[in-house]
């Protein structure tokens, strides 16, 4: 039972940017970058340590390793531990044109390239930044830790290796069409990294992801994800899981961290935000998600999302993000 695919499908990327960073040894930055982003080591290796970590308390990122930063993008990144750190924002400002920036609502017009400390042994990184329509409220992103380390050998996909090679070799050639292709590949690589993390360390994930490791709960979660507007009751969800209502409720609360119906309400709200952002009529959205009336949907949406469906749709019109 594949309960993960509907969530990956619903993770809508609103903006994406690809950057190539070429650092000559020695180098060390006090990294501080807010948007969701990934760093993939293409050549060489680098030392990563959390902000405020004790000297020597960090890990090596080897060629092929990836760091996925969902939140809290403050850490040290360098060619070795113990080096003096330069603020990343200062390096960026000194190396890039002032008009080159990433807006979480709009993709950059071209890939970003940055070279620092030319000459000598190099570290080559691929950077990918993302903005999502649902932000951190998306159930998949909300359930994951702030940062994920995905090792190269963790369920590596041959196509992903080829995609990284394409992005690396084509980035400096400025051939037509590369910008569009690089964004699409970045989105696919991001989904692949999340999937690889989940496949390699399911016990480390929280919330509903823990439920995916339980075959019975996975059946119920998959049913909710596929048909959020169905007239689900506790008894019907328990039947999907093949458990009694009592056992299902207790196991769901223990594994997922909330009640089955509470999770269903949260998933419906996520689906509602996605449909409203696509400018679907409020009444249609409410009906599709199982609400008895448009009024009931409006009241539920305002209570859980903090704004009205109409206001949310207006604020997320495509023209508003350009």
Rounded (10°) angle between helices 178-200 and 158-170: 150
Whether residue 186 is found in the same domain as residue 221: no
CATH number at residue 198: 2.60.120.10
**CA torsion angle 248 251 254 260 (round to 10):** -20
Whether residue 199 is found in the same domain as residue 214: no
Per the CB < 8 A criterion, the answer to whether 252 and 211 are in contact is: yes
Q: Is 1 helix (H, G, I), strand (E, B) or coil?
A: coil
Whether residue 175 is found in the same domain as residue 306: no
Chain Cα centroid distance, residue 266? 18
* pLDDT for the residue 43: 93
Q: Tokens 């989105």 appear where?
A: 187
Task: Tell me which of 160, 184, 204 is where a domain ends.
Answer: 204
Task: Tell me which of 204, 224, 244 is where a domain ends.
Answer: 204
| Regions in the chain scoring below 50 on pLDDT | 320-322
* pLDDT for the residue 320: 41
Whether residue 165 is found in the same domain as residue 121: yes
CA-based Rg of the chain, rounded to a whole angstrom? 22
Number of structural domains in the chain: 2
* pLDDT for the residue 204: 60
Whether residue 153 is found in the same domain as residue 59: yes
Residue 231 — φ and ψ, nearest 5°? -80, 70
Whether residue 221 is found in the same domain as residue 280: yes
The residue segments making up the domain with residue 20 are 5-204
Whether residue 200 is found in the same domain as residue 213: no
Residue 126 — φ and ψ, nearest 5°? -105, 130
**pLDDT digits 0-9 by tens, 282-313:** 999 999 999 999 999 999 999 988 899 999 99
Whether residue 55 is found in the same domain as residue 199: yes
Whether residue 263 is found in the same domain as residue 173: no
Residue 65 — φ and ψ, nearest 5°? -75, 155
* pLDDT for the residue 254: 93
CATH number at residue 291: 1.10.10.60
Which long-range contacts does 239-244 make (Cβ < 8 Å, 24+ apart)? 241/216, 241/217, 242/216, 243/216
Task: Tell me which of 204, 219, 247 is where a domain ends.
Answer: 204
Whether residue 27 is found in the same domain as residue 133: yes
Whether residue 69 is found in the same domain as residue 108: yes
Whether residue 28 is found in the same domain as residue 166: yes
3-state helix, strand, coil in the chain (%, to 5): 45, 20, 35
Would you say the C-alpha torsion 153, 156, 160, 166 has a positive or negative sign? positive
Cα–Cα distance for residue pair 128/141, rounded to 1 Å: 16
């Amino acid at each position: 039972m594949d309960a993960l695919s509907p969530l990956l499908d619903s993770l809508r990327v609103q903006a994406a940017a690809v950057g190539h960073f070429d650092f000559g040894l020695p180098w060390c930055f006090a990294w501080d970058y807010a948007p969701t982003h990934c760093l993939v080591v293409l050549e060489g290796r680098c030392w990563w340590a959390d902000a405020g970590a004790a000297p020597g308390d960090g890990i090596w990122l080897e060629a092929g390793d990836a760091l996925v930063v969902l939140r809290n993008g403050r850490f040290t990144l360098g060619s070795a531990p113990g080096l003096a750190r330069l603020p990343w924002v200062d390096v960026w400002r000194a190396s890039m044109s002032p008009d080159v920036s990433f807006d979480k609502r709009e993709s950059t017009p071209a890939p970003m390239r940055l070279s620092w400390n030319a000459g000598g042994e190099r570290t080559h990184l691929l950077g990918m930044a993302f903005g999502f329509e649902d932000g951190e409220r998306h159930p998949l992103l909300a359930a994951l830790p702030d940062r994920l380390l995905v090792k190269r050998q963790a369920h590596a996909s041959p196509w992903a290796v080829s995609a990284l090679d394409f992005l690396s070799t084509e980035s400096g050639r400025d051939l037509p069409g590369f910008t569009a292709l690089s964004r699409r590949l970045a989105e696919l690589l991001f989904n692949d990294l999340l999937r690889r993390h989940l496949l390699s360390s399911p016990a480390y994930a929280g919330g509903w992801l823990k439920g995916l490791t339980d075959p019975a709960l996975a059946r119920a979660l998959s049913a909710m994800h596929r048909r959020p507007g169905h007239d689900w009751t506790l008894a019907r969800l328990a039947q999907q899981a093949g458990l009694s209502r009592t056992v299902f409720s207790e196991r769901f609360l223990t594994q997922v961290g909330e009640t089955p119906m509470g999770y269903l309400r949260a998933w419906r709200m996520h689906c509602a935000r996605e449909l409203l952002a696509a400018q679907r009529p409020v009444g249609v959205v409410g009906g599709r998600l199982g609400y008895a009336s448009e009024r009931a949907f409006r009241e539920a949406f305002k209570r859980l999302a903090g704004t009205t469906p109409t206001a949310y749709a207006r604020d997320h019109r495509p023209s508003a993000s350009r």
